[in-house]
Amino acid sequence: MNDNELLAELLLPDIDKTPDYYENMYPKRDLPEGAKVTRIAPSPTGYLHLGTLFTSLVNRITATTSSGIFFTRIEDTDKKREVKGGIEDIIEGLKRFGITIDEGFISGDKQYGKYGPYQQSNRAEIYQTYVKDLIKRGLAYPCFCTAEELDEVRKKQESEKIRTGYHGEFAKHRNITYSEAKALIDEGKPFVIRLRSSGSEENRITFEDTIKGKIEMPENDEDFVLLKSDGIPTYHFAHAIDDHLMHTTHVLRGDEWISSVPKHIELFKILGFKVPKYGHVSPIMKLDNGAKRKISKRKDPEAAVHFFAEQGYTAQSVIEYLMTIAASDFEDWRRANPTEDYKNFKFNLKKMSVSGALFDENKLNDVSKIKVSQMSSSEVFDSLTDWAKEFDNEFYNILTENSNFTKRMLSIDRDNSSKPRKDIAKWSEAKNYFAYFFSSLYCPDYTLPENISNEDAKAFLNNYKDIYDESDDRQAWFDKIKSLCPSLNFASETKEYKANPDMYKGSAGDLSTVLRIAITGRRNTPDLCSIMQVLGKEECIKRINNTVNSL
RNA sequence: GGCCCGGUGGUCAAGAGGCCUAAGACACCGCCCUUUCACGGCGGUAACACGAGUUCGAAUCUCGUCCGGGUCACCA
Ramachandran area for residue A232 (φ above 0: left; ψ -120 to 50: alpha; else beta)? beta
Q: Which residue is nearest to nucleotide B23 (CA to C1')?
A: A332
Neighbours of A347 (CB within 10 A): 24
What is the model's pLDDT at position A290? Answer: 65
Q: Are strands A103-105 and A69-72 parallel, antiparallel or unpaired?
A: parallel
In this complex, the answer to whether residue A289 has its CB under 7 A from any atom of chain B, a nucleic strand, is no
Q: What is the spatial distance, in angstroms and rounded to an integer, between the CA atom of A351 and the C1' atom of B12?
A: 13
What is the model's pLDDT at position A448? Answer: 84
Q: What is the spatial distance, in angstroms and rounded to an integer, between the CA atom of A197 and the C1' atom of B42?
A: 66
Report yes or no: A82 and A76 within 8 Å, Cβ to Cβ.
Answer: yes
Measured between alpha carbons, how far is A192 from A224 in angstroms, rounded to an integer? Answer: 10
Q: CA A284, A290, A293 angle in degrees (round to 5)?
A: 25
Report yes or no: A74 and A106 within 8 Å, Cβ to Cβ.
Answer: no
Chain A span 338-377 residues with beta carbon within 7 Å of strand B: 351, 353-358, 360, 362-363, 365-366
**Torsion over CA: A444, A445, A450, A454 (sign):** positive
In this complex, the answer to whether residue A124 has its CB under 7 A from any atom of chain B, a nucleic strand, is no
Q: What is the pTM of this model?
A: 0.92
Chain A span 403-432 residues with beta carbon within 7 Å of strand B: 419, 421-423
What is the model's pLDDT at position A227? Answer: 96
Measured between alpha carbons, how far is A177 from A350 in angstroms, rounded to an integer? Answer: 49
Nucleotide nearest to A163 (CA to C1'): B2
Measured between alpha carbons, how far is A121 from A75 in angstroms, rounded to an integer? Answer: 8
Nucleotide nearest to A43 (CA to C1'): B76
Per-residue pLDDT of chain A (551 residues; tens, 9 = 90+): 888 999 999 999 999 999 999 999 999 999 999 999 999 999 988 788 899 999 999 999 999 999 999 999 999 887 788 888 889 989 999 999 999 999 999 998 899 999 989 999 999 999 999 999 999 999 999 999 999 999 999 999 988 888 899 998 898 899 999 999 999 999 999 999 999 999 998 899 999 999 998 898 999 999 999 999 999 999 999 999 999 999 999 999 999 999 999 999 999 999 999 999 999 999 888 877 666 777 877 777 777 888 899 999 999 999 999 999 999 889 989 988 888 999 999 998 988 888 888 888 999 999 999 999 999 999 999 999 999 999 999 999 999 999 999 999 999 888 877 778 888 999 999 999 999 999 889 888 888 887 788 888 888 998 888 888 888 888 888 888 888 888 888 888 877 777 777 788 888 888 899 999 999 998 888 989 999 999 998 999 999 988 988 87
Q: What is the spatial distance, in angstroms and rounded to an integer, between the CA atom of A325 and the C1' atom of B68?
A: 19
In this complex, the answer to whether residue A483 has its CB under 7 A from any atom of chain B, a nucleic strand, is no
Instruction: Please name which of A119, A103, A97 lies closest in space to residue A68, comparing C-alpha atoms.
Output: A103
Nucleotide nearest to A230 (CA to C1'): B74
What is the model's pLDDT at position A289? Answer: 67
Q: Which residue is nearest to nucleotide B75 (CA to C1')?
A: A78
In this complex, the answer to whether residue A231 has its CB under 7 A from any atom of chain B, a nucleic strand, is no
What is the model's pLDDT at position A491? Answer: 84
Phi first, then psi, for residue A332 (nearest 5°) are: -60, -45
Q: Which bases of strand B sit closer than 7 A to a protein CB?
A: 1-8, 10-15, 24-27, 34-40, 68-76
Nucleotide nearest to A520 (CA to C1'): B36
Nucleotide nearest to A204 (CA to C1'): B3
